[in-house]
Amino acid sequence: MRDQHDQLRESKKATFASSQGKRAMFNAAAYTLFVLLVGTNIPTPLYRSYEQVFNYSPLVTTLIFATYVAALVPALLIAGPLSDAIGRRRVLLPSLALAILGSLAFATASGVVWLFVARILQGLAVGGASGALTAMLSELEPEGNRRRATLVTTVASLGGLGAGPLIAGLLAQYAPLPYVLPFMIEVIVLIPALMFVLNLPEKPQLTTWHVRRPIIPQSMRHTFATRGLAIFLAFSVIGLFLSLVPAYVMKLSETHNLAVAGGAATLMLTCSVAAQVVGYGKSPLLLQIAGLAFLSTGLGLLGVAGSLESLPLMGLAAVMAGVGHGLTFLGGFTEINRQMPVDRHAEIVSSFYIIVYLGVGVPVIGVGLMATTVGSLVAIQRFTACMIPLLLVALCILVINRQTEASIDMPSKGHGD
C-alpha cells in the first residue's frame, strides 16, 4: 500500500514538473516572438533621419519597408511547411541568426544599400520564424487552450511591433549612438531566445517536405477569404503607421523629436493590444465587425487631422485605428486557428501571415509613390479615401455572414427542440 502511495506521489511530481516545463517553454516561445518583432520595427522612427543622413527621398523609405515584405513572404512559404516536416528547432536556429545579422547590418550601416540588406535579413528572419513560433505556442499552451494561445500570439506580435518604435525613438533621442545602440540592445535580447531554441529537443523528420504553393483546406477557404480580406485591410493601416505616418506626425507637431515620431505607431499598436485583451473570449465574428467600424472611423479622423493640422486629432485617429486593428486581427486569427488541422499548423499559419504582410507592404508602396508627386499629406488623405469604402465593403460581407449563420442555426435549434 505504501509503495502504491509513493508511486502515486512520484507520478504527481512528474506530471507537475512536465506541466511547469511546458509552461516555461510556452513563455520562452512568446518571448522569442516578441523580441524578434521588436527588432523589425526599431527602424520605424529612424527612417526620417536616415533620409537626411543618407540623402534619399521618401519613396526610398517606402521601398526599404517593402523590401522587408518581399523577403518575408517567400521565407514564410518555405519555412512554415518545412518546420512541420523537420521540426521547429531546425528552422528557428537559422532564423534567429539572420535576425542578429540584420540588427548588426543596421548598426554598422554606412549607406542606403546597407538599409536594404538589413531589411532583407530581417524579412527572412521573421518569415522563417513566424509560422514555427505561432505553431509552438498553440502546441505548448499548458492547458491545450487554442484560444488563449491565439491571444498570447497576437499580443506578443503586436506588442513587439509597438515596443520597437517606442524603444528606438527614446534611445535615438536621449541616448548616445542613436543609429547603433537600439540595434545592439536588440542583439543582446535575442541571445536568450537563441539559447531557448538551442535547448529545444531535436525531433526526427516527421513528413517528407518539398516546396509547394500554399494549400488551404477546402473547409477553411471561405473563412480565409472573408476573414482574410478584413485582416489584409487592417494591416494595410498598420503599414501606413509604420512607414509614412511618423514623418507625418513630426510635420504636424513641428518637431524633430524621434520619440514623438515613433509615438503614433506605438500608440496605435498599444491600443491594438489592449483591445485584444478586452475582446478575449468574445465572438470572433462580432470582434471583426466592431473592428472594421473602428478602423473606418480612425482612418477618417487621420485624413481630417492632416487638413486641420491637429495633433490631438491625430492621436485620436491612432487610438481608434488601433482598437479597430486589434479587434479585427484577434477575431480573424481566433477563427482561423480554431479550424486549422494540427498536422499542418505551421503551414497554414504561414499562409495566414502572407495575407498579413502583403497587407503591410503592398498598399503602402502605392502611397509612397503618390507622396513623391503630391506630398505625404495628400497621399495619406487619398489612401484613407480609398480604404474607407473597402473597409465598409468588408464590414458588409461579415454582417451578411453573421445573418446567414444565424438563419442556419435557427432551424437546427428548432429541429432539436
Domains of the chain: 28-200+217-407 (1.20.1250.20)
Q: Give the pLDDT confidence score for residue 376 in this predicted structure.
A: 78
Q: Give the pLDDT confidence score for residue 63 in this predicted structure.
A: 83
H helices within 175-257, ranges in order? 181-198, 221-243, 245-253
Q: Give the pLDDT confidence score for residue 411 in this predicted structure.
A: 53
DSSP single-letter state for residue 403: H
Burial 302-324 (b: 16+ CB within 10 A, else e): bbbbbeeeebebbbbbbbbbbbb
Q: Is 200 helix (H, G, I), strand (E, B) or coil?
A: coil
pTM: 0.78
Distances (CA, A) of 150 to 10, 331, 336: 33, 10, 10
Q: What whole-number distance in Å separates Cα of residue 218 and Cα of residue 45?
A: 42
Nearest Cα residue to 346 out of 30, 94, 40, 88 = 88
Series of mean pLDDT values for 10-residue runs along the chain (417 residues): 51 49 88 94 85 84 83 86 81 94 95 95 93 87 83 88 86 89 95 91 62 73 87 90 76 76 82 92 93 95 86 91 94 86 74 83 82 83 92 94 66 48
Cell match 545592439: residue? 184
Phi then psi for residue 264, to 5 deg, are -65, -45
Q: Where are the beta strands (DSSP E) in 27-176?
A: none
Cell numbers for 61: 523609405
Cell numbers for 37: 518583432
Q: Is 268 exposed, middle or buried (0-12, 13-18, 19+ CB in 10 A)?
A: buried
Nearest Cα residue to 172 out of 57, 278, 52, 14 = 52
DSSP single-letter state for residue 202: P
Q: Give the pLDDT confidence score for residue 101 in this predicted structure.
A: 97
Cell numbers for 246: 511618423
For the chain, the C-alpha Rg in angstroms (whole number) is 22
- Which residues, 6+ apart, have CB-to-CB distance to 341 below 8 Å? 217, 348
Nearest 5 degrees, angle CA 328-CA 334-CA 336? 100
Q: What whole-number distance in Å separates Cα of residue 314 and Cα of residue 324?
A: 15
In this structure, is the dihedral angle defined by the CA atoms of residues 347, 30, 43 and 332, taken in order, positive or negative? positive
Cell numbers for 159: 506588442
Cell numbers for 176: 548616445
Nearest Cα residue to 40 out of 132, 124, 133 = 124
Q: What whole-number distance in Å separates Cα of residue 394 and Cα of residue 236?
A: 14
User: How many residues does this entry show for the chain?
Assistant: 417
